Amino acid sequence: MNFLLKFIIILIIFLKSNEYADAQILQSRVMFFNTENYFDTFDDDKTLDDDFTPTGSYHWTWEKFTAKRNALSKIIIAVGEGKTPSIIGLCEIENRFVLNQLVNETPLAKFEYRIVHHNSPDSRGIDVALLYNPSDFELLYQNFYEISKDFKTREILYAKGIFHGVDTLHVFVNHFPSKRGGAKASESRRMAAAMELKRLCDSVNKAGNNANILIMGDFNDTPNSEPVTNTLQAKDSFDKINERDLYNLALPLMKKGEGTIKYQGVWEFIDLMFVSGNMLNGTGKISCSQSDFKIFKAPYLFEKDNAFVGKKPKRTFTGMKYNGGISDHLPVYIQLTVEK
């Protein structure tokens, strides 16, 4: 190779390195996990938590609690694959105490996660929560929104912050009412939750253009359900992106037969994420694509499905018997691209 050719190659490498230095690209993950009854061992006389006490029906001891706590921290670290998630949405957590235990008494402590939490009006005392790394997400505002005055359920968590110092990110964490009492009979409650969530997103969009909205949660409904498609009005086509619309990231995976829970031998997708079109059209400083949304499927999250074919998530309890697992849900996450 002659001297001139070597010089040209070195010059190209130098110019490229300066180009990347000017526009630094980094990857950052956001995850959601239904922790399935992450309760402490103490009786709260204001909620129906008696089953999860040492003398309750589950004989929920401190040893069992700490085993679950430590397992949850292991999953969070594993989802990050070398760098823990910037933001973590959680549901089915009992209170601030269990969150403090998770972020302060496990290997997560060195990452100094902060907590967004509020005791919900749910009769069992289970709440939604947000953990965030203050180095990645500068929290500006937080609030909790009641779904309805007619029934008690988890509120919608809203957090607004500066993501990696480049732009505002609006985050919503949800745990929609369950199908207890029948899917159709309970659908009106999920419709009410979707209606309030849509109102909040519309409010964010009205406040300014190019809003980066990220919605996550256990919706107790599939991506093609009435509350998601008609009430929330989440789009399922990624061909033409409108920056103010919401886009349903889970539907393509559901069509492939994937899911986050297994009910009577069939995988169902109810742990969902949605983003605003502004994050999908490639024009903003925080961006992603549908393929950046994934289910976390580490082998230790599963056990053999003896009643049906294949495997299923390994739960903490099978009926009333302690099973030593973590959750009946699988975590989901999205990898966001940030241009600094």
Tell me, what CATH number does 157's domain have?
Answer: 3.60.10.10
Q: Is residue 132 part of a domain?
A: yes
Q: Is residue 81 part of a domain?
A: yes
Q: Which pLDDT score, from 0 to 100, does residue 21 have?
A: 45
Q: Is residue 9 part of a domain?
A: no
**Is residue 118 within 8 Å of 145, Cβ to Cβ?**
no
Q: Is residue 174 part of a domain?
A: yes
Q: How many structural domains is the chain composed of?
A: 1
Q: Is residue 237 part of a domain?
A: yes
**Is residue 212 within 8 Å of 169, Cβ to Cβ?**
yes
DSSP secondary structure string for all residues of 251-307: HHHHHTT--SEEETTEEE--EEEEEEGGGTSS-SSEE--GGGEEE---GGGEEE-SS
Q: For each of the chain's 340 residues, which pLDDT tens digit applies?
A: 565 555 554 544 444 444 444 568 999 999 999 999 999 999 998 898 999 999 999 999 999 999 999 999 999 999 998 889 999 999 999 999 999 999 999 999 999 999 999 999 998 999 999 999 999 999 999 999 999 989 999 999 999 999 999 999 999 999 999 988 777 778 999 999 999 999 999 999 998 778 999 999 999 999 999 999 999 999 988 888 999 999 999 999 999 999 999 999 999 999 999 999 999 988 889 999 999 999 999 999 999 999 999 999 999 999 999 999 999 999 999 999 999 8
CA distances for 199 relative to 207, 282, 309, angstroms: 13, 25, 42
Q: Is residue 5 part of a domain?
A: no
Q: Is residue 7 part of a domain?
A: no
Q: Quote the domain boundaries for residue 317.
A: 25-339
Flag whether the pTM goes above 0.85.
yes
Q: Which pLDDT score, from 0 to 100, does residue 22 have?
A: 52
Q: Is residue 49 part of a domain?
A: yes
Q: Which pLDDT score, from 0 to 100, does residue 281 have?
A: 86
Round to whole Å and give the CA distance between 7 and 1: 10
Helix (H, G, I), strand (E, B) or coil at 23: coil
